[in-house]
Amino acid sequence: MARMKVALVGIGKIARDQHVPALAASGDWELAATVSRSGTVEGVESFTDFAAMLAARPDIPMVSLCLPPMPRYRYAEAALLAGRHVMLEKPPGATLAEVHALERLARAKGVTLFATWHSRMAEAVAPAKAWLVGKSVRRAHITWREDVRKWHPGQDWVFEPGGMGVFDPGINALSILTDILPMPVHVTAATLEFPENRDTPIAAQIDFSANVSADFGWRQEGPQTWDIVVETDAGTLELRMGGNRLFIDGQETAGEDTIMGEYPALYARMAELVRAGTSDVDLAPMVHVADALTLGRRKTVAPFHF
C-alpha cells in the first residue's frame, strides 16, 4: 500500500527525539513537509508558516502537531477546517472544552482526529490491562518522579498557564492508569506544590477514590521513577519504566527496557483510524488533571530556575 503523506508541525524536542525516527521507519507514512519557526528536517520541504503549508500542499492529508498544548488548538482548528486529518501530541489541548470543539469539528468535516497518549503504547500496558481484567483492586499507587531539566531543558512553557507543570509527565501515568484499571476512579483530594516564581505545579500528590493515589515530582535527579503498583485480590502488579516492564508478584513477565516502540505504534494506530474513517479522542486522563487542579490545596515552595 502507498504511504500517506504527513506534515510535522513544531520541530522541537519530541519531534526530533521520537516523531522523525518513527516516521522514517513507518510503512504507513511519509514525512512530506515540516512547519516550524526554527527547526527543519534534512531532505524534507520546510515551511515557517502553517497557512502557507496548507495552501501549498493540498496533497498532504495528515498533520501531526508536536507543539506545546497552548498554541496547539489554533493549528488543529486550521488543519481540520482545511480538511486534513490531525494527530495531537499529549496532552491534547490546554483545556477540555477546546478538545471537545476539535472533536465536533473533525466530525463535521469527516476527518480523523487522534488524541494520542504515547504511554498507552508502552510495551507492558496491554498485558497489564489484560492481567487486571476481572480482578479486584485493593490499592494502587503511582510514583512518577523525573528531572524537568533533563526532559524539558529551558522550556519555560511548562511553567506558564496552560503548560500543566508536573502534570505534563504526570498525565502519561494517568493515561496508563485510566487504560488498565478494571474500574473508573475519580480525584478526591490533591496537594499541589507551586514554585513561588511559577504558575504551574512542580510536584503533586493526588488521592483518588478506591484507594488509588499518585505522587508526581519534577525535581528528581539521578535515576528516574515511572512506576505504577496495583495490589489486587490475586497478587500485585508492578508496571515500571513508564509502562514498558511488567512484574507480577515480583517476577518480570512482559515488556522491554525501551520506550522506542511507543511512537511507531501511535503512527500505526493513526493509519488504522484514517483507513477506517474514525477518530480516537479519550479525555479521561485530562479530566483527572483538571479535577486535581480544581480540588488541589496549593503549597508555595522554593523558586525554580532552569
Q: Where do we find the cell 496495583? A: 230
- Residue number of the CB atom closest to ligand NAP: 12
Where does this chain bind ligand NAP (CB under 6 A)?
10-15, 36-39, 66-69, 71, 89-90, 118, 151-152, 155, 157, 168
Q: How far is the CB of 37 from ligand NAP (least distance, A)?
A: 3
Nearer to ligand NAP, 9 or 137 (CB): 9
Q: How far is the CB of 110 from ligand NAP (least distance, A)?
A: 26
- Classified as helix, coil or strand, 264 is helix
Cα–Cα dist 302/86, whole Å: 39
Catalytic annotation, pick one of 13, 90, 109, 135: 90
90: annotated active-site residue: yes
Phi, psi of 129 (to 5 degrees): -60, -45
Nearer to ligand NAP, 118 or 145 (CB): 118
CB 47 within 8 A of CB 35: yes
Nearer to ligand NAP, 142 or 237 (CB): 142
Q: How far is the CB of 133 from ligand NAP (least distance, A)?
A: 28
Nearer to ligand NAP, 137 or 264 (CB): 264
Q: How far is the CB of 14 from ligand NAP (least distance, A)?
A: 4
Give every CB contact of residue 182 below 8 A, 6+ residues apart in sequence: 132, 133, 134, 135, 137
Q: How far is CA 217 from CA 104, 192, 193, in A?
A: 35, 10, 9
Cα–Cα dist 241/4, whole Å: 32
**Which residues are known to be catalytic?**
90
